[in-house]
Structure 1
């Protein structure tokens, strides 16, 4: 081979690799945006307290109450006395969106802190505190509300790998079974994504328990942490995710006769896992939102899961690459239409007004996701109308 031919070949290979890396990075960034666990995006907000924050009372209250924007379940309730002594509050009642908490003992004069941590139906734990004084205010006791960045980072990474396992792993297994058929290109990547998802799903359950109780990473091995995580709605997501990941793995390793049914069941499991928790699923009316989340999740898994096996098949110029591409191209338009329709319905239900797109943290996060989707749709359009025909022709 001449030096010129070698350089041309190297350049073409580099461009192909570059496009593959850019596409994969775009998909991972999109998955990362889905996984952001920042507390600013939690959706249960405290709207009223009794006593009010900062109030000075003449005598101690018989009970405390916290009213939220949606129903919640208490995780940790603590009263911190003026001298810094914490008193666990275990007697409470739930009344619609209000948590009524009994005062267990007489309180002396000074400034007290009521610290709370609750979890809403969507599986997001939120916490905070309020101050009130009896008689004359005193120096407030110190209650740490610092963000646990190691735990935040672990939750973020765990959810990214969980989504990679569900979308690129289980979705990839479906693509290999139903679209690639006899071609096995990309199977190693799909298997690795599923295995990573299995590990991430298991760890995410413990991380959810830590987040729910406000405990540090060092408490991960404690049984109460895992019981708490399992008791949240996210526990159902992890359970269905593990089933979906297991079905996807079995479709790759099991007998050929069971490949398609197992892969299809795994793809359905992705939608069920995502519909089991999260604010979109918990929003009313749930008879509409949960099916929309299911369709949205299945659509993402179908689309994202096919990209790596299809890209590797085209790159390797295998005999099955062109039929694989034709099957994918025939199905992707209706899948993307369903994906977009489900996303629009969920956005309208949750945002409600155009102003909320810029005035709320959720709306701003949605705008970021829409920007990433526009980028991905642009890539898809270029592939569909400029590159597909030439790729099918070899």
Structure 2
């Protein structure tokens, strides 16, 4: 009877694991979009209109959720009051209830992208031909995220990831490492780390993450009275939804691991494993990878990366305690078992990390020219140091321990502390990466080659145009109407060549009321290139260029040229 009961229990446990694995796979997001980028807006930036527009339209590269769109005059007042913004496909549309009087206006906007990142900005336009004090209006432009809020988000996210990986890793270590420990070591608590700290940390940082996300969405004009509204905004985002899954899993996991009898039973370990997988799976519901165009293969790669990282970090505590308390043979068995798993797991971790890094950073220059790339380089350096320490443990200290060399335990304890500290640094850098836009080249890659055969194209148009933030060097090789090749280069105030995050161009022929379509340009190195065939009619054409400089800053350029 005991054997039959054990068999039934084991079968139920395995079926439960398979069921939860299926649920985890079903939870994986298949969103085929990425970080939101404003592609265009109507009215255009710096537009001078004869009459008031009926609507305001902001077009993005993906569906977004509007937080607010405000029309401000130079004094900071909202002449039309609060305006409801509607999401329509990839655009945000605001219907103006009445006409705007002549004057200058600043449109301040804030939206939430598919990966839960708040994105905001502002642009200006003018109704009528009078003079406008734009200097006074600029103070009402959409502000960047406050430094304090940014730091709080990174710190909280780091603590959350640390607590989650330690708890989940502890479960994996129970299944993979504890069989190498004898009953004496297990009874002395080597298999039960002090879980109250990471458990409590996870229960505090998860709801705090929802609130901080809401504050980031709300903007800088938040007050104590608006905290409930900010929390509601946080819950409505994909990060808030994944946090709810994580919080529920964290509560169950802490209850299982702190209930003495259940924690020591085999069924309790199986249940804890299922809940830990759900908790880790919550990280796959949002973020850069989950909303990348190739999420179908990137999300499983991230899942593998998380599992190995959790096991590695979760093993640090038990290994340190074993180095202090266990007898030499038990410690050797534990180290040998950990090394045997690491031989397979560490290469998988590195390959998964490399695959994601190569996808997020599509060219070497982005590693030093973007905040995402620089943070990624620091993370790679920290991981390299972790590997060096781990290799020293594996090939030097383990052999010295087997030979009973004096002082080996102390050196091993020191190395394990250093390894743990470096891994905490990796987690902090991972949390920092989540606040930057990936350096990948957007979603507009083309298979054809771009070139500018100036020697065979006749005239060359070259113009230098000053913007609010950058200077545009515009070059166009053309012979007549028809196909034309353009090349755009951007320079900062110091004359340094820079590459905006996204650039688009539009060709209009006002005399015939022809308004072209916005077209995204492909980045080639530091330049933006495109072959266009929009100019099919002779006349005085207006060329509009929009450049997304940062998440919150955009520059607009305009020139007029005659084509014959």
Smaller-chain TM-score range? 0.7 to 0.9
Query: For this pair of structures, how many residues does the alignment match?
Result: 352
Alpha carbons of 1:287 and 1:230: their partners in 2 closer, same or farther (altered >3 Å)?
Answer: same
Deviation at 1:108, TM superposition (A): 1.2
Match of 2:529 in 1: none
* Whole-Å separation in 1 of the counterparts to 2:344 and 2:111: 41
Return the match for 1:210 from 206, 215, 237.
215
Match of 2:140 in 1: 143
Match of 1:200 in 2: 205
Deviations 1:136-164 (A, max 9, x none): 24224331615423322321221111011
Deviation at 1:78, TM superposition (A): 1.3
List runs of 5+ in structure 2 lacking aligned partners. Answer: 1-33, 180-185, 405-564
Return the match for 1:155 from 145, 153, 174.
153
Match of 2:66 in 1: 74
Whether the aligned pair in 1 keeps the contact of 2:163 and 2:201 (CA below 8 Å) is: yes
Match of 1:172 in 2: 170
Match of 2:288 in 1: 279
Whether the aligned pair in 2 keeps the contact of 1:247 and 1:265 (CA below 8 Å) is: no
Match of 2:47 in 1: 55
> For the pair shown, which has the larger CA radius of gyration, 1 or 2?
2
List runs of 5+ in structure 1 lacking aligned partners. Answer: 1-41
Say if 2:335 is the partner of 1:338. Answer: no
Return the match for 1:238 from 231, 238, 243.
243
Deviation at 1:244, TM superposition (A): 3.8
Q: Indicate the structure with greater strand content.
A: 2
Return the match for 2:303 from 265, 281, 294.
294
Alpha carbons of 1:215 and 1:172: their partners in 2 closer, same or farther (altered >3 Å)?
Answer: farther
Deviations 1:270-290 (A, max 9, x none): 431211110111102221122
Alpha carbons of 1:323 and 1:355: their partners in 2 closer, same or farther (altered >3 Å)?
Answer: same
Q: How does 1:300-339 map to 2 (within 5 A)?
A: 300-318=309-327, 320-339=330-349
Whether the aligned pair in 2 keeps the contact of 1:60 and 1:106 (CA below 8 Å) is: yes
Deviation at 1:177, TM superposition (A): 5.2
* Whole-Å separation in 2 of the counterparts to 1:323 and 1:299: 20
Deviations 1:85-132 (A, max 9, x none): 233221423233x32332232111221111111111111111111111
Deviations 1:253-277 (A, max 9, x none): 2312234213322442343121111
Whether the aligned pair in 2 keeps the contact of 1:66 and 1:99 (CA below 8 Å) is: yes
Say if 2:388 is the partner of 1:388. Answer: no
Equivalent residue of 2:120, what SS? strand
Say if 2:136 is the partner of 1:108. Answer: no
Greater relative contact order, per chain length (Cα 8 Å cut-off, separation 6+): 1
Match of 1:122 in 2: 115
Equivalent residue of 2:149, what SS? helix
* Whole-Å separation in 1 of the counterparts to 2:116 and 2:400: 47
Equivalent residue of 1:282, what SS? coil
Deviation at 1:229, TM superposition (A): 0.8
The runs of at least 4 aligned residues of structure 1 exceeding 4 Å deviation read 215-218
Alpha carbons of 1:196 and 1:93: their partners in 2 closer, same or farther (altered >3 Å)?
Answer: closer
* Whole-Å separation in 1 of the counterparts to 2:279 and 2:361: 25
Whether the aligned pair in 2 keeps the contact of 1:173 and 1:248 (CA below 8 Å) is: no
Whether the aligned pair in 2 keeps the contact of 1:167 and 1:305 (CA below 8 Å) is: yes
Say if 2:92 is the partner of 1:99. Answer: yes
Q: CA-atom RMSD, angstroms?
A: 2.5
Deviation at 1:241, TM superposition (A): 2.1
**TM-score of the superposed pair, with normalisation by structure 2:** 0.58
* Whole-Å separation in 2 of the counterparts to 1:392 and 1:190: 31
**TM-score of the superposed pair, with normalisation by structure 1:** 0.81
Q: Indicate the structure with greater helix content.
A: 1
Q: How does 1:217-232 map to 2 (within 5 A)?
A: 218-219=223-224, 222-232=227-237
Deviations 1:179-237 (A, max 9, x none): 23626238454331121121011111111111111156753873322221111010132
Alpha carbons of 1:168 and 1:218: their partners in 2 closer, same or farther (altered >3 Å)?
Answer: farther
Say if 2:316 is the partner of 1:269. Answer: no
